Amino acid sequence: ELVLKVRIQTPNLRENDFIEIELDRQELTYRALLQVSCHELGVNPEHVQKIRKLPNTMLRKDKDVARLQDFQELELVLTVSDKNLLFRVPTLSEQSGYNKKASELTY
């Protein structure tokens, strides 16, 4: 898996922490990155204007995503100015069961 750090671009907030997401290295596509990032952050993918690799590089295609390395920092830039309308709270089952491989681990 490829581990990336993702957050929503919100310059007005004091705390804007990154979350870590995992992408299957066999499916390193722009669409997969967008879907996983939006799911984990609770954002509608239709409201994402672009994905930025920090500090200043826009990701545009699958080849850009394939070049990403572990723990690179990304930001979702949203199109709507009132960001409070874009968020939804994921249910507990969505939060804990998204990563199929992780849910199959036994101790």
pLDDT in tens, 35-60: 999 999 999 999 999 999 999 999 99
- The answer as to CATH 1.10.8.60 being correct for domain 2-78 is no
- From the centroid of its chain, how far is CA 3? 11
The CA-atom distances, in angstroms, between 46 and each of 38, 42, 76, 78, 79 are 10, 12, 12, 9, 9
The model's pLDDT over 73-102, given as tens digits with 9 standing for 90+, comes to 999 999 875 445 445 444 444 444 455 555
Domain locations along the chain: 2-78
pTM over 0.85: no
Of 78, 74, 84, the C-alpha closest to 36 is 74
* Contact criterion met (CB below 8 Å) for 23 and 4: yes
Residue pointed to by tokens 């009132």: 82
* Contact criterion met (CB below 8 Å) for 23 and 36: yes
